[in-house]
Structure formats: C-alpha cells, structure tokens
Structure 1
Amino acid sequence: MEMERVTELTIDRRPRKRPRLGWEAVSQAPKAQLGLFYVQEIGNVTSYAPSRASSDHPSSLFVKGLARNGSAPWREDDKDGHYVFELGENITSRYKIHSKMGEGTFGQVLECWDRERKEMVAIKIVRGVKKYRDAAMIEVDVLQQLGKHDKGGNRCVQIRNWFDYRNHICIVFEKLGPSLYDFLRKNNYRSFPIDLVREIGRQLLECVAFMHDLHLIHTDLKPENILLVTPEYIKVPDYKGLSRSPKDGSYYKRIPKSSAIKVIDFGSTTYEKKDQTYIVSTRHYRAPEVILGLGWSYPCDIWSVGCILVELCSGEALFQTHENLEHLAMMERVLGPMPQNMLKRAGRSAEKYVRRGKLDWPEGATSRDSIKAVLKLHRLQNLIMQHVDHSAGDLIHLVQGLLRYDPSDRLSAREALRHPFFTRDHLRR
C-alpha cells in the first residue's frame, strides 16, 4: 500500500510516496476525552489514562502530578489538519512553545523549552491526518532502531521521545542548527570551501554506511535533510560571487564554525525490498534507475550523496529540473551517454523517454527553454574545476564513482570512505 511521504524541518511541498508499515493510527479523541494523550519516553514506556475533562474546561489534565490546565486551550485544527497554537503556550505540561522553526507537508516544527530536561528541543507536530500520522510512526520506529544501534554517534538526529497529543503525533528531537540548504540560501548560494565539503561528505557517508549496515535506505537525502549541529559561523572575504550578489556585505561569505552535521527526516526510510519500483525521492537528487522504473536499493542513496557533494562545492543544485526527460538529458549532458542496456530495460512508465535504444532528446523536449536549460550545463569535470582550488582531481574521481549510471557499479558508502579524497594527506599538499 502506498502513502504520501513527508519531509522534516524544512518547507517542501513536492509530492512523494512511500509504503505504509503496519501501524494503525489512534482515532481522534471524542469530545468527552479532549485531554487524551499518550507519552512514550524512549526506553521507558509510560501511558496515561484519558482525562474526562468537562466541556467548560476541555484542556484540564493531570500529568505526572503536574498542575491542572498545563496545556493550552482546546482549538480546532486548521483546514489542512495543522495544530493551531500561540507562542508561550504549553504542549502538555512539559513543553513550552518558544518559536516556530519550520513548516512542511508533514506539519510544523516548534522550538520548545523542555521543563524536565532544562533544554531547548525541536518538536515535530504532525498534521492530524491519517497518512501523515502513519508516516510519523514509521519515523519513530526507524529513529528508535537507529538510536538502539548508534552507540558512537553516527550522524543521525537523536529522538528524545514522542507522544500522541490531541490527534497529533509529536516527535521530540535534540535542537540542531540550520540545514545545509538554508545555510547556502542565506549565503547567497556561495560554495563551501573544499576542506569543509570533505568533512561534511565524510560524515554523510559515515551516516549512510551505518544505515545501510542496518539494511535501511534513507531514500531522501538532500541538503534540506542535513543539519549543521550548531548555527555559529564566521565571515571570510570572498570576491567570486560579486556578479550575483552586489548588495552590502557581498565581499564576505559565511563559513560554519563547526563542520559537524546530522541527518534528519527518516519518515521515508525503509528496509531494503528487492521488488519495490515506486519510491520517489526529491527530484533533484533522484537516481536514474528510479526515473527509468528499474527498481531501487542502497545505491539510490549514494547517487544523492554525489549530487549533494557537487552542490556544496558549486553552491547550486546539480540537476535543477522539474521533468523526467529533461532530468535524464541533463544527466547525459553532465556525465555522458546513458548505457543502452538501462534505457532498453526502462519500465512502462518511462518507455516514452526512450526511442531506438537512446534517450528521446532533444526531439521529445517539451520546450525550447528546456533544451536551453540542458545545453547550458557543463561536464562534471569542468563544473568542479570551476569551483575547487585544490583536490579537484580527487573530488572529480570520487563523484564519478558516486554518479555511475549502473547502480551495481556505483561505489558503496564504505568504498567511498576509503577514496583518496578522504584518505590522502591533504595537509601536505
């Protein structure tokens, strides 16, 4: 069974799908039980009986002996099922809403003060719609699996706990810094220094290797789903981007103080299944075999990593497209011709993109603008060399291994971590 997938911590309204796993959503509490909610502390399950609040005081609760009326007044959700709140209110008696951090198809993320742990946390409040509730419980399950095996800190966001509150699944996370995408955007899409790209790439591949060892596929790796651990940055002189950003301050660009990252958004993560063909990751980072309907597995994550590394060193998404044939044509423009055996095996939904064993391009293009968008792209080697001062050769060779068309030829995460781009003594360059 399919269901629309969700994103985390960033606004992303693109539709996506994922399989539903076996969890039945708790139905919305009736009027006589408006205070009903469940709490599960990770590693220690605690459930609370419903509070039969009167209609005059629908939010009255008792939680671990805390005072009545700890939660906000009861309100109807908005028309899309989003939780309606005001700053300063409580979510249960434990969490006080401090600010709104983000919103997406899944719901909202709020920065909250955790009274029990005396720290700021990020709470993902999922829309009160069954398919999003189902996906949220998938994410809880994956986060618990990752946390159970993640003894040494393998770059996955840490879940604090989760609870079901007024028909909204709420997942409590450690509070992190901005996503790599948000950092790039606020930095006028200026590239990261190559040594920072190396450190981020190493951590990202360590996370992917850890997940793949557990037979898990993230399926939606992208800069929006990679968060810096801290928001601090420094400003350094930069003159390369002047033509794009002539505003005051354009002589400087931001560099994160710390290269530490964590991967988020496990609502679309799934265990490897050999027969799946319909997983739809965010388009810019989608592997060619997914577009061609040839199935998917661990190498789909590896393709996404390759796209991300190019984006970090150039400042812009490698494949900025919104249409499948154009996307495949962009791949050929940057990486060379696609293997005929892949094109000939294209699934029924992708047969229209292929003619006589080759990509139906430019004949099948939807517009002249689409053809222009493809023609303006550079070959991978030239693109990287335009932005990288040193280590360009190693990075080109690594990315070529991550972006091989045939998924069986693509580097694994463990193989990529042994690449000279990461292992060479760059201090002696």
Structure 2
Amino acid sequence: MSQELRQVYAALLERAPENRIEPDLSRIRRVMELMGDPQNSYRSIRIAGTNGKTTTARIIERILRETGLRTGRMTSPHLHSPTERIAIDGESIDEEGFLQAYYDVEPFAQVVDREQLEAGGVRLTFFEYLTAMGYQAFASAPVDVAVVETGLGGTWDATGVVAPDVAVVTAIGLDHQEYLGETIAEIAGEKAGILTPGAFAVLAEQLEEDAADVLRDRLEEIGAEAAIEGQQIAVLSRTPGVGGQMLSLQGVAARYDEVFLSLLGEHQAHNALLAVAACEALLGGGETPLGAEVLSAALAEVSSPGRAEVVRQAPTILVDAAHNPSGAATLVATVRENFRLTRTVGLVGILEDKEAEAILETLEPLLDEVVITQSSSPRAIPADRLADIAREVFEDEDRVVEVAALPDAIQRAVDLAEQHGDQFSGVVVAGSVTLAAEARDLLGHGEEA
C-alpha cells in the first residue's frame, strides 16, 4: 500500500466507523445529488442478508461478465486492501483508481460535511464515503451493471441510494443486533428494506420462519415480482467433488443440469442458485434462460477468497471468515462433507461485538483442539479473555491453547496437527474476517483477494 493510499484510508477511518449505522440517508443522497447521481447511469443488483452476500455478488458478477457485460462490484469488508471493495470487470480497482475516486468525491463530501455540522448533524460516515466512491468509479469506468453488497442491514444502508433492477436477500440470522434489532423479525425488517416496487426480488429459503414472514409481507406490500427459493427456484441436486460440486438448479426461466461450481459447501450451491436467478431476472426479466456455455464457464471459474478456502496442503489449512454462529455452522458442515480429516485443530479469533461463546460452541464438536489467538483489529477480543471462554465451552483445558501472536499461533496449530495427527490432519481458521485476512497474508495468499 502506497503512502498516499495509507493517508487517504486513514482519513476515511477518521469518520464514523463502518460497524455503526447512522439511520439517515440524507447525507449520502445529498452527496450523490451534488455529484450528478452517477449511480443512475447503469443497471444494478443489490444484495442483503446475514451470510453469503459477498460470494453471491462474486458469482453474479462472474456470470454477467461471461455474457460480455462490463461489471462493477462493491463488497465489504475487505480482506487485505480497501481497494478490494470496488472492483471493475472482476478485478479490484488499482490504487490510482481508488485515489481518483476519493478525490472525485472529496469536494462534494466537504460541502455535505459542512452542511451537516452547521445543522447539528454528523459528517459522512466511512461507509457512506466509500459507497459514493464506488458509485463514482463505476460511472467513470463506465460499467453496464453494478453488483452491490449492502454493508449493514438494508433500509438505512448507504448503498440504498441506488434503485436496483434486482434485489437479492440471502438467508437471515442473528448478527449486528446492536444496530439491526434483537430479534430475527426486527433484523429481517431491516434487510427487507432493499425490496422495492421496481426491483425483481430473489429470496433465499429462510430457516427462520419469522424472517420468511417479514419478507413475504414486504413483497405483498410493494407488489414486487419475486423468485423464492423452495417455490419458483431450487437446488435440485448436488454432488460434492474434487475442488467443487456438480449441481442441478431450477432457475426462474429454465432448469440447468450438471453444472460444475468451483466452490465447496452446500451453502455455496444455494448462493449459486440465487446468483443464477438474479442474472435471469436482470438479463431477461426471468423469462430468458442463461446460455449453457455461459453458465458453465462462469460457475467453473468463480472464486471466493476467505470462504472455505484451502491455503495450504499437508497439513490442510482451511481459512473461513465465519464470524457469527450461522456462519460457523455452515463451516462445520462444509469441513465434514469435503474433508476426511483424522484430526482437526482450530485457530480462532473473534471480535468484541460478536457472539463468541455461541461461535465456539458451534465449532467445538468439529475440533480436537483449538488455538485461541487475536487479530490486529482494535476490536479483537484479547486472546486471554477469549481463551477463558473457550475453556468453559470445551470443558477440557488440555484442548485449549492460548497464543496471542498470530504468526506463532499459526505455527502452533500446524505443530499440533502434525504431532498428533497424520497426513489427513488439518487446521481450520475461523472467527472473523480480519483473522482470515491476516492468516491468508501470513500464508502467502495476500495478493489473491
């Protein structure tokens, strides 16, 4: 990262943090208005949900690129560099492009900041500024379609200044309760905010009935056309294989048989289904099938760094950004299905605002031992405190090892896997996006996000 990029990113970080919602879209709407509303110069797909948003965005984008469209992708958080949050044609924007987007927004942000402060309000937040940068970069490219992942929630998320052609809602669970609400129904209400009258809705099957009820009520309220998993669309079959899985999918417009997806886990099959339906909706109003060659080529080559990603062999080291109980449960199922590990060592670090005990309880049945550590994030739970929680959960102090420094923790986990296992032992890294990113970096995958 260049010195100039560090300075710009530091300036962004001085604003209200990403994990805080200011429930008011007036700031982002005002800055976009001053900029000429660049977000209206291309079509868009917007994605909300608790888990699976980033991967679904990457699959959608890959399919659209295979059809010849120029794409923009906005996702969060980043793994290694803030430039990853804005991608053009499947590639993270370069530093020059990121800086140009920042400077393009700057004079308009200064106007809005001044107006807000004079009225007793707050400056543009970190995420609002980055969102404006993304929409501006897409207009400058220019792109044909923007694929946009919400940051937190949906109703008050800054990405909502765009009027999407398609709105996708992945599975909803408990996360960010301090901002989105304490119950599934309250959280679903925030996520449902991305469903608008003019957008074709693509909805994942909801394991929580309260979430399904809220989404159904929202659809009835706005009268939007929709494809709902388990009703109009479905994963018909899946067969795990080496490096991925073979799928048969029922889309909105057609059935697609024997398509190979280069991602592991049942959850990724469902993410792929949502992506296929979203692309059918965008490209043909849900009435025109995707080309078989287009879909096969796209799904066979899609990647999702830091999501059930193997970053080393012998022993196997799997990195996953699972940072809530539902994400941890998905990870456990994926490991059990795809890896015949004779011994599994966890490497876990969790952030302060997450459900540490529940995450550890979900991971515990999978792990023979766990190495508790912490990332460099100021929000990271200190290793000694997280280790105390782990000892309570694992009910055996010998299964819990505390190593605060991540490089040493990785080595300790590898040593434990090799010492007490065989060639089929493995290490599973999980607990936060920050931990996944730093582990990838230390294991030589820092430039591959």
- Asked if TM exceeds 0.5, the reply is no
Structure 2 length as normaliser, TM-score?
A: 0.29
Structure 1 length as normaliser, TM-score?
A: 0.30
Structure of greater Rg: 1
Is the helix fraction higher in 1 or 2? 2
